[in-house]
Amino acid sequence: MIRIIFFIILFVSLAFGTRAEDHYWEKGETFLKFLEKNSLPFSLYWGLDIEDKEMAAEIYAGTKYYILRGDEDDIRQILIPVASGELQLHIYKEKDEDYTVQFTPAAYQESEKELVFKLQLSPYQDIIALTNSTLLAREFVNSFQGNIDFKRLREGTEFVLLYKEKTRLGSHFSNPLIKAAMVDTKSKKEYVFYYEPKGRYYNNDGKEIEGFFLMTPLKYTRISSPFTLKRWHPVLQKYRAHYGIDYAAPIGTQVKAAGDGKVTFVGPQNGYGKTVKIAHEGGYSTLYAHLNGFAKSLKNGKYVKKGELIAYVGNTGVSTGPHLHFGLYKSNQPINPASVIKVAKSALSGKEKTEFNKYTEVMKEKIAEAQAKGVIPEMDGSFVYVIDIADNADS
Ligand SMILES: [Zn+2]
C-alpha cells in the first residue's frame, strides 16, 4: 500500500503535474503547528483518538517527510515517519473531499548481513568506517558489554558479525539486530548470541550479558496500557501503536529516574503534556509523560541517579486519567521497557540450555563460514529519520 504511495510520489508526480517535496521536521514543531503552517484543518489532530494523539507526539526533529502537491499547489498527500519509522502518518485528500489522516505501515527491506574485519583503530570506529552505521557499531559494543575489554585488544584481532538490518530507499531504517558475533583474539574466541526466545544477548556459556537495566519509575496501581509496536486493530480497521507503558497511579505519586543519565528535556510536549526525557548510556533514553509537575531542582542538562525523584504523576496532555506514560528508546527507536526492567542477570540451564547450545552450534558454523569468506557488506546511506538525542546529550 505504502509502496504504491511512494510510487505515486516518485513517478506519477512527473506525469500528472504534481510535485513532491522533501522536508525536515523542525525542532520544537508540534503536529498542531505543522497543520497551521500548511493551512490544514486542526480537526486532523482533534479528531485523533488518545493513542494516536500520543503517536503524533512521536515525530522527531530532523525527521524527513514528504509533501505531494497538485497542479494548484494544493496539498494532496503528506507522509511523516513516526519514531521507529514502522508507522507513518499519512494525510491525504481525494479531489474535492476533506483531508483524512491515518497511520499506515512503512515499506522496508530486511536483509541478513555479514561483516568480517581486522582491528584497525577500535571495533567501534572500524565498524563505522566499513558500514557507515553508528547504530551497528553501538549495538556491537553494547552486545559485548562487560565481557571483553575492547581497549586491550591486540593487533590482528578479527571480528565477525552476523546481523539483520532494515533499510528503506538505501538508508538505515532502525536499529540493526546482531544475531551473533565473534571476537577472535587468535588465542581465544569470544562469542555473543542474541537468543530470540529470551530477547537478550548471551555469551557462549549461556550467561546473559550484563546490559542496560532500568527500574520501574514509580509505585503504580496497575498497568493501564502495555507497549505495542504496531498492531492491526480488526474492529477499528486501523493500525494502533503505543510506544510506552501506561502506569495508573494517583496524582502526585513520585516519579523516579529509571536509570542514571542526563536530563535532555523538561517541559510540555504536544500530546504528552508535561514531560521529562533522560539520556542514558548506550544510546538509551527514557520519557516520562502526563506529569503534574517536576522536582524542584530538575532542569535540562542535570545529571540524575537511578531512583532520584524527578517528577509527580499527573493528568496533563491527552490523558484519560492520572497515569505515567513511560517510554524507552534506543537510538530514538521505541522499545518495550518491560524487556529492560530487570533485577538480576540470569544464566540458562536445563532444557533451555540444551536448546541454546543447539542454536549456538549452528550460529558458530555460520560465523566460521563468514570468517573464511571475509565479507564486507555494501555501505548503506546515512540514517534517514533521526537526530540522535542521546549523542547530542553526551557532548
Ligand atoms: Zn501512553
Whether residue 314 is predicted with pLDDT greater than 80 in this model: the reply is yes
pLDDT at 211: 67
Q: How far is the CA of 51 from the centre of ligand 1 (A)?
A: 7
Number of domains in the chain: 3
Q: How far is the CA of 226 from the centre of ligand 1 (A)?
A: 8
Q: Are residues 56 and 164 in the same domain?
A: no
Q: How far is the CA of 331 from the centre of ligand 1 (A)?
A: 20
Q: Are residues 262 and 286 in the same domain?
A: yes
Q: Are residues 286 and 264 in the same domain?
A: yes
pLDDT at 282: 77
Q: Report yes or no on 24 lying in a domain.
A: yes
Q: How far is the CA of 225 from the centre of ligand 1 (A)?
A: 7
Indicate the average pLDDT of the chain. 84
State pLDDT tens for residues 191-225: 999 988 877 889 999 988 866 778 899 999 999 98
Radius of gyration of the chain (CA): 23
Q: Report yes or no on 268 lying in a domain.
A: yes
367 in Cβ contact with 162 (< 8 Å):
yes
Q: Are residues 349 and 203 in the same domain?
A: yes
Q: How far is the CA of 245 from the centre of ligand 1 (A)?
A: 6
Q: How far is the CA of 217 from the centre of ligand 1 (A)?
A: 14
Measured CA distances, 273 to 91, 117, 292, 325 (Å):
24, 47, 9, 10
Nearest to 301, CA basis, from 261, 341, 350, 274: 261
What is the 3-class SS of 18-86, one letter each residue?
A: CEEEEEECCCCCCHHHHHHHCCCCCHHHHCCCHHHHHHHCCCCCCCEEEEEECCCCCEEEEEEEECCCC
- What is the rounded distance in angstroms from the CA atom of residue 376 to the CA atom of residue 160? 10
Q: Report yes or no on 306 lying in a domain.
A: yes
Q: How far is the CA of 252 from the centre of ligand 1 (A)?
A: 18
44 in Cβ contact with 34 (< 8 Å):
no
CATH of the domain at 49: 3.10.450.350
Q: Are residues 387 and 360 in the same domain?
A: yes
Q: Are residues 20 and 120 in the same domain?
A: no
Query: Could you tell me the pLDDT band of residue 310, with boundaries at 50, 70 and 90?
Result: very high
Q: How far is the CA of 241 from the centre of ligand 1 (A)?
A: 10
Query: How far does Cα 242 stand from its chain's mean position?
Result: 13
Q: Are residues 335 and 238 in the same domain?
A: yes
Q: How far is the CA of 247 from the centre of ligand 1 (A)?
A: 8
Whether residue 388 is predicted with pLDDT greater than 80 in this model: the reply is no
pLDDT at 10: 42
Q: Report yes or no on 389 lying in a domain.
A: yes
Q: How far is the CA of 193 from the centre of ligand 1 (A)?
A: 32
Residues near ion ligand 1 (Cβ under 5 Å): 246, 325
The average pLDDT across 254-266 equals 96
Q: How many helices (H) does the chain have, and how many strands (E)?
A: 9, 23
Helical axes 134-143 vs 123-131, angle rounded to 10°: 150
CATH of the domain at 232: 2.70.70.10
Q: Are residues 330 and 243 in the same domain?
A: yes
Q: How far is the CA of 277 from the centre of ligand 1 (A)?
A: 15
| Structural domain for 6, as ranges | 2-105
Q: How far is the CA of 289 from the centre of ligand 1 (A)?
A: 8
- Tell the residue number behind the cell numbers 551473533, with chain if given: 180
pTM metric for this prediction: 0.73
pLDDT at 368: 95
Last residue of a domain, one of 317, 339, 361: 339
Q: Report yes or no on 217 lying in a domain.
A: no
State pLDDT tens for residues 80-130: 988 766 788 999 987 778 899 988 887 778 889 999 999 999 999 999 999
Q: Are residues 77 and 28 in the same domain?
A: yes
Whether residue 8 is predicted with pLDDT greater than 80 in this model: the reply is no
Most confident range (mean pLDDT) of 66-70, 226-230, 361-365 is: 361-365
Higher per-residue pLDDT: 82 or 359: 359
Q: How far is the CA of 48 from the centre of ligand 1 (A)?
A: 14
Q: What single DSSP character describes residue 208?
A: B
Using CB atoms within 10 Å of the CB of residue 340, give its burial: 0 to 12 exposed, 13 to 18 middle, 19+ buried.
buried
Q: Are residues 295 and 254 in the same domain?
A: yes
Q: Report yes or no on 95 lying in a domain.
A: yes
Q: Are residues 200 and 249 in the same domain?
A: no
pLDDT at 2: 40
pLDDT at 384: 41
